[in-house]
Amino acid sequence: MSRWIIFILFYLFMSFYGFQAIKTISKSNWVYFIFISIAVLVLGNFMLQFIAASEGRVLNPSKSYAFGFLLAFMSFNLVLIPILLGEDIIRVVLGLYDKLLTSKQTFYMPSRRKFISQIAIGLAAIPFTSLLYGMYKGKYRFRVLSYQLYFEDLPEAFDGYKITQISDIHCGSFDNRDKIEYGVNLINEQKSDVIMFTGDMVNNKTSEMASWKDLFGSLKAKDGKYSVLGNHDYGDYVNWPTPEAKAQNFKDLLQTQKDMGFDLLLNESRTIEKNGQRLAIIGVENWGAGGFKKAGDLKKAAQDIDENDFKILMSHDPSHWEQEVVEDDYHYHLTLSGHTHGMQFGIEIPGWFKWSPVKWRYKHWAGIYKEKGQYINVNRGFGYLGYPGRVGIWPEITVIELKKGVKHA
Protein backbone atom coordinates (compact mmCIF):
# COMPACT_ATOMS: atom_id res chain seq x y z
CA MET A 1 0.00 0.00 0.00
CA SER A 2 2.86 2.41 0.81
CA ARG A 3 4.17 1.99 -2.73
CA TRP A 4 0.80 3.03 -4.13
CA ILE A 5 0.74 6.11 -1.90
CA ILE A 6 4.23 7.15 -3.03
CA PHE A 7 3.29 6.53 -6.66
CA ILE A 8 0.07 8.58 -6.40
CA LEU A 9 1.89 11.49 -4.74
CA PHE A 10 4.53 11.45 -7.47
CA TYR A 11 1.83 11.27 -10.14
CA LEU A 12 0.02 14.27 -8.61
CA PHE A 13 3.29 16.20 -8.45
CA MET A 14 3.92 15.56 -12.16
CA SER A 15 0.33 16.39 -13.10
CA PHE A 16 0.56 19.65 -11.16
CA TYR A 17 3.42 20.82 -13.35
CA GLY A 18 1.59 19.68 -16.45
CA PHE A 19 -1.42 21.71 -15.37
CA GLN A 20 0.77 24.74 -14.69
CA ALA A 21 2.09 24.64 -18.25
CA ILE A 22 -1.42 24.31 -19.69
CA LYS A 23 -2.69 27.14 -17.48
CA THR A 24 0.11 29.44 -18.61
CA ILE A 25 -0.63 29.15 -22.32
CA SER A 26 -4.43 28.92 -22.17
CA LYS A 27 -7.17 30.78 -20.31
CA SER A 28 -9.92 28.34 -21.29
CA ASN A 29 -11.66 26.47 -18.48
CA TRP A 30 -12.51 23.71 -20.96
CA VAL A 31 -8.81 23.09 -21.58
CA TYR A 32 -8.22 22.83 -17.84
CA PHE A 33 -11.14 20.45 -17.47
CA ILE A 34 -9.91 18.21 -20.28
CA PHE A 35 -6.39 17.99 -18.82
CA ILE A 36 -7.64 17.20 -15.32
CA SER A 37 -10.12 14.63 -16.68
CA ILE A 38 -7.38 12.86 -18.63
CA ALA A 39 -5.13 12.82 -15.55
CA VAL A 40 -7.89 11.30 -13.40
CA LEU A 41 -8.99 8.76 -16.02
CA VAL A 42 -5.45 7.56 -16.74
CA LEU A 43 -4.63 7.10 -13.05
CA GLY A 44 -8.02 5.61 -12.22
CA ASN A 45 -7.89 3.06 -15.03
CA PHE A 46 -4.35 2.06 -14.14
CA MET A 47 -5.23 1.53 -10.48
CA LEU A 48 -8.41 -0.34 -11.38
CA GLN A 49 -6.51 -2.74 -13.62
CA PHE A 50 -3.58 -3.38 -11.29
CA ILE A 51 -5.25 -3.37 -7.87
CA ALA A 52 -7.97 -5.80 -8.97
CA ALA A 53 -7.43 -9.47 -8.21
CA SER A 54 -5.22 -11.15 -10.78
CA GLU A 55 -3.84 -14.56 -11.65
CA GLY A 56 -0.27 -13.49 -10.94
CA ARG A 57 2.17 -11.44 -13.00
CA VAL A 58 -0.22 -11.64 -15.92
CA LEU A 59 -0.36 -8.79 -18.41
CA ASN A 60 -3.54 -9.00 -20.47
CA PRO A 61 -4.45 -6.39 -23.14
CA SER A 62 -6.52 -4.32 -20.68
CA LYS A 63 -3.61 -4.01 -18.26
CA SER A 64 -1.18 -3.33 -21.08
CA TYR A 65 -3.23 -0.46 -22.44
CA ALA A 66 -3.70 0.97 -18.95
CA PHE A 67 0.07 0.91 -18.57
CA GLY A 68 0.60 2.33 -22.06
CA PHE A 69 -1.66 5.35 -21.50
CA LEU A 70 -0.08 5.95 -18.10
CA LEU A 71 3.38 5.83 -19.65
CA ALA A 72 2.41 8.29 -22.39
CA PHE A 73 0.82 10.77 -19.96
CA MET A 74 3.72 10.52 -17.50
CA SER A 75 6.26 11.04 -20.28
CA PHE A 76 4.48 14.29 -21.18
CA ASN A 77 4.71 15.58 -17.62
CA LEU A 78 8.23 14.29 -17.00
CA VAL A 79 9.57 16.42 -19.86
CA LEU A 80 7.79 19.48 -18.45
CA ILE A 81 9.10 19.13 -14.89
CA PRO A 82 12.81 19.98 -15.35
CA ILE A 83 11.96 22.95 -17.59
CA LEU A 84 9.26 24.44 -15.37
CA LEU A 85 11.04 23.53 -12.14
CA GLY A 86 14.14 25.26 -13.49
CA GLU A 87 12.01 28.29 -14.28
CA ASP A 88 10.56 28.19 -10.76
CA ILE A 89 14.04 28.27 -9.24
CA ILE A 90 14.91 31.30 -11.35
CA ARG A 91 11.61 32.97 -10.37
CA VAL A 92 12.31 32.42 -6.66
CA VAL A 93 15.86 33.76 -6.99
CA LEU A 94 14.61 36.87 -8.84
CA GLY A 95 11.90 37.38 -6.22
CA LEU A 96 14.40 37.13 -3.37
CA TYR A 97 16.84 39.41 -5.14
CA ASP A 98 14.10 42.01 -5.70
CA LYS A 99 13.02 41.85 -2.05
CA LEU A 100 16.55 42.17 -0.69
CA LEU A 101 17.51 44.92 -3.12
CA THR A 102 14.43 47.07 -2.59
CA SER A 103 13.75 46.11 1.05
CA LYS A 104 10.12 45.36 0.21
CA GLN A 105 8.04 43.95 3.03
CA THR A 106 6.22 41.52 0.75
CA PHE A 107 7.75 38.82 -1.42
CA TYR A 108 6.83 39.01 -5.09
CA MET A 109 7.70 36.21 -7.51
CA PRO A 110 7.61 36.95 -11.27
CA SER A 111 4.88 35.21 -13.29
CA ARG A 112 5.56 32.24 -15.51
CA ARG A 113 6.57 33.18 -19.03
CA LYS A 114 4.26 31.93 -21.71
CA PHE A 115 6.96 31.15 -24.26
CA ILE A 116 8.80 28.89 -21.74
CA SER A 117 5.63 26.83 -21.25
CA GLN A 118 5.07 26.73 -25.01
CA ILE A 119 8.57 25.38 -25.59
CA ALA A 120 8.14 22.86 -22.77
CA ILE A 121 4.82 21.59 -24.12
CA GLY A 122 6.27 21.36 -27.63
CA LEU A 123 9.12 19.19 -26.36
CA ALA A 124 6.81 17.11 -24.15
CA ALA A 125 4.56 16.40 -27.13
CA ILE A 126 7.34 14.44 -28.85
CA PRO A 127 7.49 11.40 -26.50
CA PHE A 128 3.74 11.69 -25.79
CA THR A 129 2.69 11.44 -29.45
CA SER A 130 5.42 8.88 -30.19
CA LEU A 131 4.13 6.54 -27.49
CA LEU A 132 0.54 6.95 -28.69
CA TYR A 133 1.66 6.26 -32.28
CA GLY A 134 3.55 3.20 -31.07
CA MET A 135 0.33 1.87 -29.54
CA TYR A 136 -1.78 2.71 -32.58
CA LYS A 137 0.48 1.65 -35.47
CA GLY A 138 4.06 1.02 -34.37
CA LYS A 139 3.39 -2.37 -32.80
CA TYR A 140 2.40 -3.80 -36.20
CA ARG A 141 4.97 -2.00 -38.33
CA PHE A 142 6.67 -5.22 -39.40
CA ARG A 143 9.98 -5.02 -41.18
CA VAL A 144 12.29 -7.58 -42.74
CA LEU A 145 15.98 -7.35 -41.83
CA SER A 146 18.29 -9.29 -44.13
CA TYR A 147 21.88 -10.33 -43.49
CA GLN A 148 24.55 -12.31 -45.32
CA LEU A 149 26.96 -14.11 -42.99
CA TYR A 150 30.17 -15.66 -44.32
CA PHE A 151 31.79 -18.82 -42.97
CA GLU A 152 34.90 -20.47 -44.36
CA ASP A 153 33.85 -23.88 -43.04
CA LEU A 154 30.25 -23.78 -44.27
CA PRO A 155 29.47 -26.98 -46.21
CA GLU A 156 29.28 -26.13 -49.93
CA ALA A 157 25.80 -27.64 -50.19
CA PHE A 158 24.53 -24.91 -47.86
CA ASP A 159 26.09 -21.95 -49.66
CA GLY A 160 23.18 -19.52 -50.08
CA TYR A 161 21.00 -21.30 -47.53
CA LYS A 162 18.34 -18.95 -46.15
CA ILE A 163 16.99 -18.92 -42.60
CA THR A 164 14.00 -16.88 -41.47
CA GLN A 165 14.06 -16.22 -37.74
CA ILE A 166 11.08 -14.99 -35.76
CA SER A 167 10.89 -14.61 -32.01
CA ASP A 168 8.68 -13.45 -29.14
CA ILE A 169 5.26 -13.79 -30.76
CA HIS A 170 3.44 -13.08 -27.47
CA CYS A 171 0.09 -13.88 -29.03
CA GLY A 172 -1.78 -12.99 -25.83
CA SER A 173 -1.18 -9.31 -26.61
CA PHE A 174 -2.60 -9.26 -30.16
CA ASP A 175 -5.75 -7.29 -30.98
CA ASN A 176 -5.79 -7.02 -34.79
CA ARG A 177 -6.11 -10.17 -36.90
CA ASP A 178 -5.59 -8.41 -40.23
CA LYS A 179 -2.23 -7.03 -39.10
CA ILE A 180 -1.06 -10.39 -37.79
CA GLU A 181 -2.14 -12.07 -41.01
CA TYR A 182 -0.08 -9.50 -42.91
CA GLY A 183 2.95 -10.30 -40.71
CA VAL A 184 2.57 -14.06 -41.20
CA ASN A 185 2.25 -13.61 -44.97
CA LEU A 186 5.38 -11.48 -44.91
CA ILE A 187 7.27 -14.36 -43.29
CA ASN A 188 6.09 -16.78 -45.96
CA GLU A 189 6.99 -14.33 -48.73
CA GLN A 190 10.67 -14.64 -47.77
CA LYS A 191 10.61 -18.22 -49.13
CA SER A 192 13.48 -19.25 -46.88
CA ASP A 193 14.75 -22.81 -46.67
CA VAL A 194 13.89 -23.06 -42.98
CA ILE A 195 11.98 -21.09 -40.33
CA MET A 196 13.32 -20.87 -36.78
CA PHE A 197 11.26 -19.53 -33.88
CA THR A 198 13.22 -18.62 -30.77
CA GLY A 199 10.65 -18.65 -28.00
CA ASP A 200 7.85 -16.86 -26.13
CA MET A 201 4.89 -17.99 -28.17
CA VAL A 202 2.44 -16.90 -25.46
CA ASN A 203 2.35 -14.38 -22.63
CA ASN A 204 1.02 -16.72 -19.97
CA LYS A 205 -1.29 -19.52 -21.11
CA THR A 206 -1.51 -21.88 -24.05
CA SER A 207 -5.15 -20.89 -24.56
CA GLU A 208 -3.97 -17.49 -25.85
CA MET A 209 -2.87 -19.20 -29.07
CA ALA A 210 -6.35 -20.58 -29.86
CA SER A 211 -7.34 -17.60 -32.03
CA TRP A 212 -4.01 -17.50 -33.86
CA LYS A 213 -3.15 -21.18 -34.26
CA ASP A 214 -4.37 -21.39 -37.85
CA LEU A 215 -2.34 -18.34 -38.92
CA PHE A 216 0.98 -19.44 -37.45
CA GLY A 217 0.26 -22.99 -38.54
CA SER A 218 0.24 -21.69 -42.12
CA LEU A 219 3.94 -20.80 -41.97
CA LYS A 220 5.84 -22.89 -44.51
CA ALA A 221 9.46 -23.63 -45.31
CA LYS A 222 11.03 -26.35 -47.47
CA ASP A 223 13.14 -27.80 -44.67
CA GLY A 224 10.58 -27.27 -41.92
CA LYS A 225 9.95 -25.09 -38.87
CA TYR A 226 11.96 -25.41 -35.68
CA SER A 227 11.26 -23.81 -32.31
CA VAL A 228 12.47 -23.50 -28.73
CA LEU A 229 10.83 -22.26 -25.54
CA GLY A 230 11.11 -18.81 -23.98
CA ASN A 231 10.62 -17.85 -20.34
CA HIS A 232 6.92 -17.01 -20.86
CA ASP A 233 6.10 -20.42 -22.35
CA TYR A 234 6.38 -22.28 -19.04
CA GLY A 235 3.42 -20.58 -17.37
CA ASP A 236 5.62 -19.42 -14.49
CA TYR A 237 3.92 -16.01 -14.20
CA VAL A 238 0.46 -17.39 -13.44
CA ASN A 239 -0.92 -18.32 -10.02
CA TRP A 240 -2.26 -21.71 -11.06
CA PRO A 241 -4.91 -23.31 -8.84
CA THR A 242 -2.94 -26.56 -8.73
CA PRO A 243 0.43 -27.89 -9.93
CA GLU A 244 -1.54 -30.23 -12.18
CA ALA A 245 -3.18 -27.27 -13.95
CA LYS A 246 0.23 -25.75 -14.68
CA ALA A 247 1.56 -29.08 -15.93
CA GLN A 248 -1.46 -29.50 -18.20
CA ASN A 249 -0.98 -26.01 -19.62
CA PHE A 250 2.62 -26.86 -20.48
CA LYS A 251 1.59 -30.15 -22.02
CA ASP A 252 -1.01 -28.30 -24.10
CA LEU A 253 1.64 -25.87 -25.31
CA LEU A 254 3.86 -28.69 -26.52
CA GLN A 255 0.92 -30.21 -28.38
CA THR A 256 -0.09 -26.86 -29.85
CA GLN A 257 3.37 -26.33 -31.29
CA LYS A 258 3.27 -29.81 -32.77
CA ASP A 259 -0.19 -29.18 -34.24
CA MET A 260 1.13 -26.02 -35.92
CA GLY A 261 3.94 -27.99 -37.53
CA PHE A 262 6.83 -26.79 -35.35
CA ASP A 263 9.55 -29.21 -34.38
CA LEU A 264 10.08 -28.08 -30.79
CA LEU A 265 13.61 -28.77 -29.55
CA LEU A 266 13.81 -29.38 -25.81
CA ASN A 267 17.57 -29.60 -25.27
CA GLU A 268 17.77 -31.58 -28.49
CA SER A 269 19.32 -31.41 -31.93
CA ARG A 270 18.38 -32.15 -35.53
CA THR A 271 20.35 -32.30 -38.75
CA ILE A 272 19.48 -31.15 -42.25
CA GLU A 273 21.27 -33.02 -45.02
CA LYS A 274 22.00 -31.90 -48.57
CA ASN A 275 24.21 -33.69 -51.08
CA GLY A 276 25.81 -35.80 -48.38
CA GLN A 277 26.64 -32.77 -46.23
CA ARG A 278 24.83 -31.66 -43.13
CA LEU A 279 23.92 -28.71 -40.97
CA ALA A 280 23.24 -29.22 -37.26
CA ILE A 281 20.39 -27.40 -35.49
CA ILE A 282 20.59 -27.34 -31.71
CA GLY A 283 17.76 -26.08 -29.53
CA VAL A 284 17.98 -25.46 -25.79
CA GLU A 285 15.22 -24.69 -23.34
CA ASN A 286 15.20 -21.24 -21.80
CA TRP A 287 18.48 -20.25 -20.16
CA GLY A 288 18.35 -16.74 -18.74
CA ALA A 289 20.41 -14.58 -16.42
CA GLY A 290 19.06 -12.25 -13.76
CA GLY A 291 16.44 -14.50 -12.23
CA PHE A 292 15.03 -16.00 -15.43
CA LYS A 293 14.47 -19.72 -15.79
CA LYS A 294 17.54 -21.87 -16.42
CA ALA A 295 16.19 -25.03 -18.00
CA GLY A 296 18.63 -25.01 -20.91
CA ASP A 297 21.28 -27.72 -21.06
CA LEU A 298 23.74 -27.07 -23.86
CA LYS A 299 25.75 -30.25 -23.34
CA LYS A 300 22.64 -32.40 -23.44
CA ALA A 301 21.30 -30.60 -26.49
CA ALA A 302 24.54 -31.12 -28.43
CA GLN A 303 25.27 -34.70 -27.36
CA ASP A 304 24.20 -36.21 -30.68
CA ILE A 305 26.11 -33.89 -32.98
CA ASP A 306 29.71 -33.97 -34.11
CA GLU A 307 32.21 -31.38 -33.00
CA ASN A 308 33.01 -30.58 -36.62
CA ASP A 309 29.40 -30.06 -37.72
CA PHE A 310 28.34 -26.62 -38.85
CA LYS A 311 26.16 -25.61 -35.93
CA ILE A 312 23.19 -23.29 -35.54
CA LEU A 313 22.02 -22.86 -31.94
CA MET A 314 18.56 -21.64 -30.95
CA SER A 315 18.53 -20.14 -27.44
CA HIS A 316 15.88 -17.65 -26.37
CA ASP A 317 17.91 -15.41 -24.06
CA PRO A 318 21.11 -13.79 -25.45
CA SER A 319 22.62 -13.90 -21.95
CA HIS A 320 23.19 -17.59 -22.61
CA TRP A 321 25.45 -16.82 -25.57
CA GLU A 322 27.57 -14.43 -23.56
CA GLN A 323 27.86 -16.57 -20.43
CA GLU A 324 28.09 -20.12 -21.80
CA VAL A 325 27.98 -20.53 -25.55
CA VAL A 326 30.93 -18.40 -26.68
CA GLU A 327 33.27 -20.15 -24.26
CA ASP A 328 31.98 -23.66 -24.91
CA ASP A 329 34.36 -26.32 -26.28
CA TYR A 330 32.15 -26.62 -29.34
CA HIS A 331 32.23 -23.85 -31.90
CA TYR A 332 28.66 -22.62 -32.43
CA HIS A 333 28.81 -20.80 -35.73
CA LEU A 334 25.50 -18.99 -35.37
CA THR A 335 23.21 -18.50 -32.38
CA LEU A 336 19.67 -17.18 -32.76
CA SER A 337 18.05 -15.43 -29.79
CA GLY A 338 15.31 -12.97 -28.90
CA HIS A 339 13.89 -12.08 -25.49
CA THR A 340 14.94 -8.40 -25.21
CA HIS A 341 12.35 -6.98 -27.68
CA GLY A 342 14.85 -4.14 -28.04
CA MET A 343 12.70 -2.84 -25.15
CA GLN A 344 10.18 -1.90 -27.90
CA PHE A 345 11.56 1.61 -27.60
CA GLY A 346 14.64 3.31 -28.97
CA ILE A 347 16.27 5.11 -31.84
CA GLU A 348 17.59 3.15 -34.77
CA ILE A 349 19.00 3.98 -38.19
CA PRO A 350 19.70 0.54 -39.71
CA GLY A 351 23.39 0.05 -40.44
CA TRP A 352 24.37 3.30 -38.75
CA PHE A 353 23.08 3.76 -35.23
CA LYS A 354 20.95 2.02 -32.64
CA TRP A 355 20.18 2.89 -29.04
CA SER A 356 17.70 1.69 -26.45
CA PRO A 357 17.66 1.79 -22.64
CA VAL A 358 17.72 -2.02 -22.75
CA LYS A 359 21.44 -1.81 -23.60
CA TRP A 360 22.06 -1.16 -19.90
CA ARG A 361 20.55 -4.57 -19.10
CA TYR A 362 21.75 -6.67 -22.04
CA LYS A 363 25.11 -6.41 -23.75
CA HIS A 364 23.68 -8.05 -26.87
CA TRP A 365 20.18 -6.67 -27.36
CA ALA A 366 19.39 -6.30 -31.09
CA GLY A 367 20.94 -7.40 -34.36
CA ILE A 368 24.14 -9.20 -35.28
CA TYR A 369 27.16 -9.50 -32.98
CA LYS A 370 30.40 -11.44 -33.44
CA GLU A 371 32.87 -12.77 -30.89
CA LYS A 372 35.63 -15.36 -31.30
CA GLY A 373 34.49 -16.17 -34.83
CA GLN A 374 30.93 -16.91 -33.66
CA TYR A 375 27.82 -14.91 -34.53
CA ILE A 376 24.60 -14.20 -32.67
CA ASN A 377 21.48 -12.52 -33.98
CA VAL A 378 19.16 -11.03 -31.37
CA ASN A 379 15.75 -10.68 -32.96
CA ARG A 380 13.71 -7.66 -31.80
CA GLY A 381 10.55 -9.74 -31.63
CA PHE A 382 7.40 -10.22 -33.69
CA GLY A 383 4.96 -9.27 -30.93
CA TYR A 384 4.97 -7.05 -27.88
CA LEU A 385 4.47 -7.28 -24.14
CA GLY A 386 3.82 -4.77 -21.35
CA TYR A 387 3.73 -1.48 -23.21
CA PRO A 388 1.29 -2.31 -26.05
CA GLY A 389 3.31 -0.69 -28.79
CA ARG A 390 6.68 -0.01 -30.33
CA VAL A 391 8.58 3.22 -30.91
CA GLY A 392 11.70 3.19 -33.08
CA ILE A 393 12.33 -0.51 -32.47
CA TRP A 394 9.88 -2.15 -34.86
CA PRO A 395 8.64 -5.77 -34.97
CA GLU A 396 11.16 -7.87 -36.84
CA ILE A 397 11.40 -10.73 -39.28
CA THR A 398 15.03 -11.73 -39.80
CA VAL A 399 16.35 -13.37 -42.95
CA ILE A 400 19.91 -14.71 -42.73
CA GLU A 401 21.66 -16.08 -45.79
CA LEU A 402 24.63 -18.35 -45.13
CA LYS A 403 27.54 -17.83 -47.50
CA LYS A 404 30.71 -19.85 -47.89
CA GLY A 405 33.97 -17.95 -47.87
CA VAL A 406 35.22 -14.65 -46.56
CA LYS A 407 33.31 -11.42 -46.97
CA HIS A 408 35.20 -8.91 -49.09
CA ALA A 409 35.10 -5.23 -48.19
pLDDT tens for residues 36-70?
999 999 999 999 998 876 777 777 888 999 999 99
Q: Which one-letter DSSP state was computed for residue 267?
A: S
Which residues of the chain register pLDDT less than 70? 1, 53, 99, 103-109, 408-409
pLDDT score of 103: 64
* Residue 342 vs residues 33, 68, 321, 334, 378: alpha-carbon distances, Å: 37, 17, 17, 20, 9
pLDDT score of 351: 78
Three-state SS for 83? helix
Any idea of the CA torsion for 283, 288, 293, 297, to the nearest 10 degrees? 40
* Residue 229 vs residues 42, 191, 301, 314: alpha-carbon distances, Å: 35, 24, 13, 9
Q: Which one-letter DSSP state was computed for residue 210?
A: T
Largest Cα separation within the chain, whole Å, is 97
Backbone angles phi, psi at 104, to 5 degrees: -70, 150
pLDDT score of 57: 75
All structural domains of the chain, each given as residue ranges with its CATH number in brackets, are 2-136 (no CATH), 138-404 (3.60.21.10)
pLDDT score of 86: 87
- DSSP-assigned letters across all residues of 367-399: EEEEETTEEEEE---SS--SSSS-BSS--EEEE
Taking the complete model, does pTM exceed 0.75, yes or no? Answer: yes
pLDDT score of 79: 95
Give the integer Cα–Cα distance in Å for 161 and 379.
19
Burial of 46 (0-12, 13-18, 19+ CB in 10 A): buried
Burial of 338 (0-12, 13-18, 19+ CB in 10 A): buried
Backbone angles phi, psi at 395, to 5 degrees: -60, 140
pLDDT score of 113: 87
Give the integer Cα–Cα distance in Å for 141 and 394.
6
With a CB cutoff of 8 Å and minimum separation 6, the contacts of 238 are: 55, 56, 57, 58, 204, 205, 246, 249
Helices (H), 265-373: 298-301, 318-320
